[in-house]
Amino acid sequence: MSSKHRASKAEHIRRVLATEGDAVAANTQGFNQGRYDSVADLEDYESLKEEARAIKEDAIERLPDLVGDLREAVEANGGTLYVAEDAEDANDYVRKVVDDVDGERVVKSKSMTTEELELNDALGADGVDVVETDLGEWVLQVADEAPSHIVAPAIHKSRESIAALFNERFDPERELVSAEDLTRFARETLGEQIADADVGVTGANFVTADSGTMALVTSEGNARKTVTATDTHVAVAGVEKVIPSVEDLRPFVELIGRSGTGQDITSYLSLLTPPVGSPTLDFQADEVGSPGDREFHLVLVDNGRMAMREDDDLRETLYCIRCSACSNSCANFQQVGGHAFGGETYSGGIATGWEAGVEGLDTAREFNDLCTGCSRCVNACPVGIDIPWINTVVRDRANRSERGGDLDWLVEGLTPDEEPAGL
pLDDT tens for each residue of 312-333? 999 999 999 999 999 999 999 9
- Given the DSSP bridges, would you call strands 268-272 and 199-202 parallel, antiparallel or unpaired? unpaired
Options 1.10.1060, 1.10.10, 2.60.40, 3.40.50; which CATH number does 3-42+311-402 get? 1.10.1060
Q: By mean pLDDT, which of 4-8, 60-64, 78-82, 93-97 is the weakest? A: 4-8
pLDDT in tens, 290-317: 667 889 999 999 999 999 999 999 999 9
Q: Which of 299, 301, 295 lies closest to 102 in space, CA to CA?
A: 295
DSSP 8-state assignment for residue 276: P
Whole-angstrom Cα distance, residue 277 to residue 402? 54
Q: Where are the domains of the chain?
A: 3-42+311-402, 63-305
Give every strand in the sheet of 214-218, ordered side by side. 242-243, 206-208, 214-218, 268-272
Looking at the DSSP bridge assignments, the partners of residue 215 are 206, 271
Decide: 153 and 140 in contact? Cβ < 8 Å. yes
What pLDDT score was predicted for residue 175? 95
Query: Rounded CA gap, 365 and 352, in Å?
Result: 8
- Write the pLDDT tens digit of every residue in 232-241: 999 999 999 9
The torsion of the CA quartet 10, 14, 15, 19, rounded to 10 degrees, works out to: 150
Q: Give the up-direction half-sphere exposure of residue 329: CA atoms within 13 A in the CB hemisphere.
A: 23
What pLDDT is recorded for position 287? 62
**How far, in Å, CA of 179 to CA of 189, rounded?**
15
CA 69 to each of CA 73, 74, 210, 212, 238: distance values in angstroms, whole numbers, following the listed order = 6, 9, 7, 9, 16
- C-alpha distances (whole Å) from 103 to each of 94, 126, 225, 312, 374 are 11, 10, 17, 43, 49
In the predicted model, is pLDDT for residue 422 greater than 70?
A: no
Identify the CATH homologous superfamily for domain 63-305.
NagB/RpiA/CoA transferase-like (3.40.50.10420)
Share of the chain above pLDDT 70, in %: 91
Closest to 23 (Cα-Cα) out of 158, 198, 190: 158
Q: Provide the pLDDT for residue 210.
A: 97
Contact 382, 323 (CB under 8 A): yes
